[in-house]
Structure 1
């Protein structure tokens, strides 16, 4: 959710980064019109958080491979942008489903948005705090006395929770600065530890020439703090649906199961065919380079698989941790993401479980127990 010329995070966070990102992107990517022989397909709109990139590879794969049409759906994938909040688009009825980070969507729910998490695609957080190896920063406690960068706009709460959990006072023990939606501050030495996503900005560093060696930066040149390891990670990309329609509209309930069945199958395709999935994203109009897209597909797969309970199932422990951090972690203004625990309508495993049952009945591997990531070789600039 954020980012320079190759990025994505909470869309509300992106207004400040408009000049830095994907200036030549089109506004949306959609399916072709149904053919005369295709029969009556149900039109569905899916709102993404950001522009076309492999963070959303599973949805583009489902579109490309015909999985949505197999379920009787004519799906339009709507790209995000600097002025688009996916969960608001959903709550306002502009789209049928939306992809959004859980804490930001919960904040919208607390403000009145009628939305429900019906499939938790990413099982782990992809947010890191990255530093040069020479700084010897490997845990949150090591941030004491350091210049620590963050994007702000709601993306900082895992970091604030981690710093606090380590016994540090974010207002006194670290020097916090708002970084741009890139890694320039880390690379020029003005930031000791910078925010990055595993699938995006971290790769941007590795796509940059190290002036000391004349070669691209290597993972051994860097240290990372992973908020999953620190115990303050929050759930990110989920599929959200309209709460009231889930309660009262039987057709929407059925469409939700069909949509999830196809979408999950798309993510399974991306797991088993990462190179092809990355190529599909590039062909759909991504402005990011091919090696960067393959890296992104591989890293997103790592955040999904394995899914022991089945892809998309909302894990109660991970949900509780997300809610706890969202209610207790304070930024420098003393603000938390939400002020009270969300109600029972905040998430519902009913529809994703039906989708998983349908896939398993067809012999599809929905857990990815044997998943192994591939090795991706990045090129300068991610080309």
Structure 2
């Protein structure tokens, strides 16, 4: 009875002392103000930066203790230069930040907003430019400091910076329309829609079609910021990615905000809606965590720059990538004054010490367990994604194709819609591999894969590596005419890539043979029958001379 009495007294005393501590701490906590930081955008205000606007509007930055000054790009300024000169704390650039780091600028790469860069070159369709190699000697408008993947794509087909006339971007698509330039650097999320509205025909040269698949809109900061404010950097990244998640989940609300507060370009709602949907496709937020980066992919990008003489041999990206360190020592340094003050209070109120310690321990342990669970979930998602991708080419593998084919087969059977399969084989690949070596053979397959993958435009279409030098494209809801047309585009695009092949018996460059099969599924047949039919037609294409398309209903 007596022990219960003292226990009760201790609890009441502890509660009272905790109340006193809270009263003492309140004036100090209430005076805490958000830290002011600045973010330099790489372009004019648009949906391209919607996640940062929503992080500001919905209070995600405020909740993280930040007051972010979002700065629109001004003529004559470049985001990475502003960061390097200490004028801003954070900036958005492209994969060319690797070149800046190699030149001695201490940049840290924090996140990749776009999993696929939306940057491309647009030309007038009636112009004499029908393939990217026709740009030799032509005028190309580019944004200074923001054309890394375009330059890499030009380099991949043998066009150096001295082989064309470089014009500084005017930000006005009318310069292309009026013939003031031959090619215009643009985002496929933006300018193509403007030309569509004006019924102006155009062609797009995407770097992905030439084996250059870079990240886009790279969030960067300085090494000084990371060392001096590690917690602030982590908080800014997390709040920004939270803003992007919200923006993509609430597109109409986000467009309303841009029209009200950020519409310096006087964009119309339909233009912003088009940009939003295209942006969502490039970010791949439904597949990977927004901002996700792979060190292996960054190293591949660096290796491409090295092969073109833009980076020194042996350049390693590991030091350029941000790796957050969540260590107790860093937390203690960041909060040294608060901990000292709390320790003095604890000396005066020992009952409160016990309560606060236990609560902090529980909270810390809970946070650690939650972080571990999040890491495990992320790793599981990444492993699941990797299990469906071809390790060499990065496109879907046989397993992914089989899963998607089964699903689309039963859907087409239910809806009585056609489904088409394009089966592709690289002509005379064994002689190619024997002559050029396995490494160049792998590069050839990777490049062909990227070309084929770039031709499939619908989200329901799937390009996958079927095995060895064979690829397959699944086209739900596509009849035989459309499937044959797309197959012919594949054949022409691979040939236009002009990959040398001196041991081919049909051409001096790498070519492909294609079989196309289309069927409206019934209960009497299964998906394997579609594959067998396409395989027979592929065999026919080889037998009839290769570098050709054979389908059941030739147009």
Measured after TM superposition, the shift of residue 306 of structure 1 is 3.8
Counterpart in the other structure of 1:86: 79
Once residues 45 and 157 of structure 1 are traced to their aligned partners in structure 2, the CA distance between those partners, rounded to angstroms, is 24
Q: Please state how far the C-alpha of 1:171 moved relative to its aligned partner.
A: 5.7
SS of the residue corresponding to residue 121 of structure 1 reads strand
For residues 280 and 351 of structure 1, what CA distance do their matches in structure 2 show?
35
1:179 and 1:246 map into 2 onto residues whose CA distance is 33
Distance 1:246 1:115 in 2: 10
- CA shift, 1:339, in A, is 4.2
- Cα RMSD over matched residues? 3.8
Q: Structure 1 residue 264 and structure 2 residue 244: aligned?
A: no
Alignment TM-score, normalising by the size of structure 2:
0.48
Aligned to 1:346: 320
- Partner of residue 161, structure 1: 152
| 1:1-383 correspondence runs (5 A) | 40-103=33-96, 105-134=97-126, 139-141=131-133, 143=134, 147=138, 149-151=140-142, 153-166=144-157, 176=165, 178=167, 180-181=169-170, 182-189=172-179, 191-207=181-197, 209=198, 216-217=199-200, 221-247=201-227, 249=228, 252-288=229-265, 289-291=267-269, 292-306=271-285, 308-329=287-308, 336=310, 338-339=311-312, 341=315, 344-350=318-324
What is the CA distance between 1:268 and its match in structure 2? Answer: 0.9
Report the counterpart of residue 378 of structure 1 in structure 2.
none
Length, aligned pairs only: 308
Contact 2:295 2:318 in 1 (8 A): no
Higher relative contact order (CA 8 A, sep 6+): 1
The separation in 2 between residues aligned to 1:186 and 1:52, in whole angstroms, is: 22
Provide, for residues 206-236 of structure 1, a one-character-per-residue CA deviation record: whole Å limited to 9, x for no partner.
34x3xxxxxx34xxx3332211222124333
**Contact 2:123 2:204 survives alignment (8 Å):** yes
- Give the conservation status (yes or no) of the 8 Å contact 1:313–1:349: no
Deviation at 1:264, TM superposition (A): 0.4
- Which structure 1 residue ranges, 5 or more long, are not aligned? 1-35, 210-215, 331-335, 374-383
1:58 is displaced (CA, Å) by 0.5
Conserved? CA contact 1:149–1:176, under 8 Å: yes
String of CA shifts for 1:18-55, please: whole Å, max 9, x gaps: xxxxxxxxxxxxxxxxxx97953233322222332222
Which has more helix, going by share of residues? 2
User: TM-score, structure 1 length as denominator?
Assistant: 0.67
User: Where in structure 2 are there 5+ consecutive unaligned residues?
Assistant: 1-28, 327-366, 386-457, 460-555
Q: Is the 2:94–2:146 contact (alpha carbons within 8 Å) kept by the matching residues of 1? A: no
Structure 2 CA distance, aligned partners of 1:94 and 1:196? 27
Structure index of larger Rg? 2
